[in-house]
A = this chain, B = another copy of it.
Amino acid sequence: MTKHNPTACALIIGNEILSGRTQDVNLNYIATRLTEHGVQMAEARVIPDVEEVVVATLNECRAKYDYVFTTGGIGPTHDDITAECVAKAFGVPLIQHADARSILEEQFKARNIELNEARLRMANTPEGASLVENPVSGAPGFRMDNVFVLAGVPSIMKAMFESALSEIRGGKPIESRTVIAFLPEGTLAGPLRTLQGDYPDIDMGSYPFYKVGRYGSNLVLRGTDSGRLGEAVDRLVKMVGDLGGEPQLEA
């Protein structure tokens, strides 16, 4: 349905997600905002802080998708290896970015903190990268070709993502409508399959729930053509009503 929309991939870099210590929330934010922007999130990967894995994954994904967003691994500590990995993936040297250094000098001077060697690592980018502004804590992210390198801390990641968004070519916004049906999925499945067959340009998903003693399903329709989407929703509402499923449109 979204073959004319740009595609994107998110790489969530960090052992803390894979060990279960931390619940990732960055993927959901990026996915939501890209969808609003008409960019289709085609895949996401959670990978460890291991150089060869990060480099290989970057190279696979930047070739496959229009945009790649990475989160995590751009702080001052030894486990922050994303900038080095991006440089290796692109086959360019890692350099100290003059503007990034100026930003760090100003930031740490204002806080009266020494800009030591570890902190200076945050000014390193692959040669040829442009900076992504960080309005929260100063130390910038960067963009290298179609790869946007963002922080892992959610508040900072979000601010950086919003800074980057103006550089992203959006597509037709992907609209989503949800019809709540008080029917078990197995009852809806046959007619829903027929409806999907009639609207191959609309992506239809069924997500079951069980609340207050009743079985039901959230039926989610997504597409870029408002007219077609509205038509499919109307038919779905009628279909659910005919089955006695008390259809409700989610606000």
Task: Report if A222 contacts B (CB, 8 A).
Answer: yes
**1/0 contact trace for A23-54 toward B, CB 8 Å?**
11101111111110000111111111100010
Nearest CB of chain B from residue A83's CB, rounded to whole Å? 14
Q: Judging by beta carbons under 8 Å apart, are B25 and A23 in contact? A: yes
With A25-B23, A113-B186 as contacts: A46 and B44 at CB distance below 8 Å: yes
A104's closest neighbor in chain B, by CB? B186
Binding site for B on A (CB under 8 A): 14-25, 27-35, 40-49, 53, 75-79, 108, 113, 116-119, 121, 153, 174, 176, 184-190, 192-193, 196, 203-208, 220, 222
A197's closest neighbor in chain B, by CB? B78
With A118-B189, A119-B186 as contacts: A16 and B77 at CB distance below 8 Å: no
* Chain copies in the assembled complex: 2
With A207-B16, A220-B21 as contacts: A193 and B78 at CB distance below 8 Å: yes
With A16-B205, A77-B189, A220-B16 as contacts: A43 and B46 at CB distance below 8 Å: yes
Q: Judging by beta carbons under 8 Å apart, are B185 and A75 in contact? A: yes
A137's closest neighbor in chain B, by CB? B210
The answer for the CA separation of A204 and B44 in the assembled complex, in Å, is 25
